[in-house]
Structure formats: structure tokens, C-alpha cells
């Protein structure tokens, strides 16, 4: 795709700028990255409908160098996929990279980190969600008793109201104490 090819209309670019943390140039860079994942099937120019409806399979998106080694790559795709399948439209892909950009606020990053860890999507992180997080991080290498010990310690440390589940506020509180969170919840495009 050469520099003279108009990928998006001025209105599309303006709308994307308003909805993301990206400049026009960065939006076009994200599109080139999206197209590079499957250049034979991604159109050179996307209409607004195609940008929402045309989807790359999760397996293709997970092979992106920025996600390939991330143990949560499938969960990230599922959270940002507007239909929940993990397959990503360009707009889903753009939203994902916008949240992971250095310009996204800490609050936005915390919101999406919570969603990634809330595997069952019920608005809380419970012991089952923590178990899945630990299994994902350890590639299932822990014994059940080790897993239970970790889950108990997590809740002893973070569950301020002792209700057996973590709210966004409790999660946010613990993330505030992690100075490197913003740096690690970041992907450079």
C-alpha cells in the first residue's frame, strides 16, 4: 500500500481520532498492521461498514508479534472483539491497540485489564477467575493445592470487603500500588 492510496475518508479518520487515542497517521499505521496479517483478504480500502463487519480470525490476530508471546492473547482478542468471538474487525483491532497505546489513560487500562481477568464477564473477579488467571500465567503447571494457596493469598490481600469477589474498585486499588502497570499494559505500534 503506497502513501498515495487513500485508505479512509477524512470523515472516517476524524471519527477514529475522536474514538481512540490515536492521530490520523497512527490510525493508518494500525490499519497497515491489520492488513499485513492477511494481505490477500483484507481490502486496501475499507468502507465504514467493512471496517465494522470484515473480521480476521482470532488465530491470525494472536500471531501478531505484539501478542504472540502474551499468555492472555486469546482473552485479549475476546474482550476487544465486538461480537465476543475473538475474531476482530478493524475497528475492534483499532480499539485494542488504542487501549494498549501509551496515550491511553491509566483508568482506561485498568478497566480493560479488569475485563481481561473477569473470564466469566459477571463484573467481578471471583476465585474461578483468579484460578484461570494463574493457570494462564503458569501454563497449568501448578498442583491444585498450590493453586488454592495462591487464590487464598490473592483474596486475603485484595478483597477489602471479604465478599469473595473483587470489584473494579478493589482491583483498581491494587493496580494503583503497581507502579509498572502502565508500562506493562502497553504495546508500541
In this prediction, residue 6 carries a pLDDT of 53
- CATH 1.10.238.10: which residues of the chain? 10-99, 106-184
Identify whether the C-beta of residue 125 lies closer than 8 Å to the C-beta of residue 166: yes
> The domain 10-99: what is its CATH number?
1.10.238.10
Which stretches in the chain have pLDDT values below 50? Answer: 1-5
In this prediction, residue 187 carries a pLDDT of 85
In this prediction, residue 4 carries a pLDDT of 40
> The domain 106-184: what is its CATH number?
1.10.238.10
In this prediction, residue 58 carries a pLDDT of 98
In this prediction, residue 163 carries a pLDDT of 96
Nearest alpha carbon to residue 77 among 122, 37, 107, 17:
37
Distance (Å, whole) CA 144 – CA 125 = 19
In this prediction, residue 1 carries a pLDDT of 40
DSSP 103: T
Amino acid at each position: 500500500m503506497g502513501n498515495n492510496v487513500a485508505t479512509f475518508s477524512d470523515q472516517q479518520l476524524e471519527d477514529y481520532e475522536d474514538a481512540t487515542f490515536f492521530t490520523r497517521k497512527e490510525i493508518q499505521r494500525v490499519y497497515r498492521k491489520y492488513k499485513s496479517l492477511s494481505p490477500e483478504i483484507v481490502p486496501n480500502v475499507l468502507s465504514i461498514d467493512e471496517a465494522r463487519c470484515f473480521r480476521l480470525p482470532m488465530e491470525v490476530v494472536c500471531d501478531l508479534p505484539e501478542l504472540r508471546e502474551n499468555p492472555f492473547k486469546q482473552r485479549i482478542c475476546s474482550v476487544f472483539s465486538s461480537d465476543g468471538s475473538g475474531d476482530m474487525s478493524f475497528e475492534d483491532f483499532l480499539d485494542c491497540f488504542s487501549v494498549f497505546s501509551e496515550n491511553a489513560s491509566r483508568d482506561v487500562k485498568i478497566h480493560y485489564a479488569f475485563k481481561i481477568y473477569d473470564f466469566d464477564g459477571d463484573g467481578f473477579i471471583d476465585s474461578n477467575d483468579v484460578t484461570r488467571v494463574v493457570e494462564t500465567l503458569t501454563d497449568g503447571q501448578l498442583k491444585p493445592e498450590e493453586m488454592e494457596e495462591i487464590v487464598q493469598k490473592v483474596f486475603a490481600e485484595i478483597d477489602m470487603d471479604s465478599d469473595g469477589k473483587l470489584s473494579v474498585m478493589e482491583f483498581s486499588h491494587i493496580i494503583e500500588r503497581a507502579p509498572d502497570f502502565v508500562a506493562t499494559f502497553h504495546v508500541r505500534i
